[in-house]
Amino acid sequence: MSETFAAASGAFAARAAALDAADRLADLRKLFALDDTVYLDGNSLGALPAHVPARVQEVLTREWGELRIRSWDESGWWTAPERIGDRIAPLVGAAAGQIVVGDSTSVNVFKAVVAASRLAPGERDEILVDATTFPTDGYIAASAARMTGHRLVPVTPAEVPDALGPRTAAVLLNHVDYRTGRLHDLPGLTAAVHAAGGLAVWDLCHSAGALPVGLDAHGVDLAVGCTYKYLNGGPGSPAYLYVAERHQAAFDSPLPGWTSHADPFGMTPGYAPADGAVRGRVGTPDILSMLALEASLDVWNGVPVEAVRAKSLALTDFFLECVAAYAPEGRVTSLTPAAHAERGSQVALRCEEAEPVMSALVARGVVGDLRRPDVLRFGFTPLYVGFADVERAARVLGEVLGEVPGEALGEAPGEVPGSRGR
């Protein structure tokens, strides 16, 4: 280690200690099952809240094992999708009664895009989709366009205002770009879509639980999101669907299931939709993962999203500063905007040797992930990531980059994270 590197390390470590000492959210880390690993992959899979296993065991042994079918009523299983939706609502700036939990993000994207197309007034026949989106959103939007007879128009978020017009029915956008961490202008783009007469559908997978969203305040029409990232619901935990109250009476789901029927146990051949957000339900709720998610949300009790956002920006600022000091010049370039108004809660670094570098990082106790071929992703979950974690991650990255690249780095054992999930 060079003298310059060592001096920087001492200075940054001291700053990290001071920042952690002043961090009002620092005690939340104790709520999670974590070890000495620096875990910067919460933007792909959140850490396990420590109390969840006991709650799941209770569901298994008492609610399922003893009460069995009685738990649909006595344990509140039947109303879980709406109850848990109301717990997520404050985290995304929504009033109660507008979010239902269930199914996957992909299924909810399909419901939202088709329903938005059906809600659009007049003879509108175009669906705009974020051309930089996570691939599944694009696949689903294309399928929805084929099913409704609409024309699909892929555009970047920056191109949306100019692409809007009298034929625009719905626009599907990501609040935060999964690859670069860029935060898009939800208020401004939603207003532009409305001015053109269309409906705005937002994918919140990389923003919910990391920053204020303001669904109600900004007039969003429909939104979807996963719960296994910053909401820490567990692998494959159910997603959610937001339907603004003003649209609920006319919301026409392309997947009308028995649990969204006005009289689900009437078993009638004709479909009559229930009132409210219940219309977003389809089939029998996935109770085990749903109740694990409900327990996970306890870590948010008394935690304002605004405080989480402030810490997120401080963490990512500090990480970028540390990387600039530790990384050899020219080896990595940030793809994540420097401006706070354009940054989510992750940092994406372009690196030619991304795969072997991430393998080496994981082997040394710093877990991020990658997006092939050349992007290192680091997610910052303020509930459990501290400033000392940030300094250590940047320092280890600098050490790895300072070693011989290529085959020597590629000898690190284990599979590189990043090929699973968003």
CA nearest neighbour of 196 among 142, 120, 143, 270:
120
State the 10-residue block means of pLDDT for the chain, 422 residues long.
74 97 98 98 98 98 98 98 98 98 98 97 94 95 96 98 98 97 98 98 98 98 98 98 98 97 96 97 98 98 98 98 96 97 98 96 97 97 98 97 62 54 66
CB 293 within 8 A of CB 238: yes
Active site residue 377: yes
Report pLDDT for 416. 62
3-state secondary structure of 263: coil
Catalytic: which of 134, 230, 326, 387? 134
Distance CA 422, CA 406 (A): 27
3-state secondary structure of 49: strand
CB 173 within 8 A of CB 155: no
Catalytic: which of 228, 230, 251, 387? 228
pTM over 0.85: yes
Active site residue 378: no
Active site residue 229: yes
Q: Which two tokens stand for residue 318?
A: 């500090």
Enumerate residues 6+ apart whose C-beta is below 8 A from 42. 229, 230, 232, 379, 380, 381, 384, 385
CA nearest neighbour of 384 among 216, 210, 190, 128:
210
Catalytic: which of 87, 111, 311, 377? 377
Catalytic: which of 29, 229, 395, 422? 229
Catalytic: which of 103, 130, 203, 369? 203
Distance CA 99, CA 334 (A): 35
Report pLDDT for 405. 58
